[in-house]
Amino acid sequence: MEEYPLPKFHFQAEWAGARIGFTEVSGLGVETEVIEYREGVSPEYSKLKIPGMQKYANVTMKRGVFASDNEFFEWWNTVALNKIERRDITISLLDEEHAPVMVWKLKNAWPTKIISTDLKADGNETAIESVEVVCDSQSIQND
């Protein structure tokens, strides 16, 4: 059996027990910060590079705009009112049978930016809004 790379167009996102349909999810990633260090008595004239703290990228999720659906703004408003409703978000890349193949888990996420759709009088596209979230940690499961 030949194996092919996974297509990226079949995915889902879940938070608070609800499945949300998105057209795009971007920014899934983690980075280890680098600490540079050199002792004064080191015979080498260069710095050592030591792994530092992990840094998680902001994740942007885009979806179509629906009438009377203000969920992004309601969630963002909890931050504006200094309550910060944190949510765990699960993003799954799905196979042909709709089973998860890769799963990203964002822990304690909250919205840092909401972008409404652009408006264009001669446009023929669907209205798209986006939410950018930050999180305490990300994990990846690839079974």
Within 13 Å, how many C-alpha atoms sit on residue 37's CB side?
Answer: 7
* Strand, helix or coil for residue 72: helix
- Looking at every residue in the chain, the average pLDDT score rounds to 90
Q: Give the pLDDT of residue 139.
A: 93
pTM of the model: 0.84
Q: Give the pLDDT of residue 2.
A: 60
Q: Which residues, 6+ apart, have CB-to-CB distance to 105 below 8 Å?
A: 88, 89, 90, 91, 138, 139, 140, 141
Q: Give the pLDDT of residue 60.
A: 96
CA dist., res. 79 & res. 59, Å (int): 17
The per-residue pLDDT for range 17-49, each reduced to its tens digit, is: 788 889 999 999 999 999 999 998 988 889 999
pLDDT tens for each residue of the chain, 143 residues long = 468 888 899 999 998 778 888 999 999 999 999 999 999 898 888 999 999 999 999 999 999 998 888 888 888 888 877 788 999 999 999 998 999 999 999 999 999 999 999 999 998 999 999 999 999 999 999 87
Indicate the helix (H) or strand (E) that contains 83: none
CA dist., res. 25 & res. 71, Å (int): 17
Within 13 Å, how many C-alpha atoms sit on residue 80's CB side?
Answer: 8
**Domains (range + CATH), the chain:** 11-30+57-142 (2.30.110.20)
Nearest to 74 by CA among 15, 11, 137: 15
Report the 3 state secondary structure along 35-71.
EEECCCCCCCCCCEEEEEEEEECCEEEEEECCCCCCH
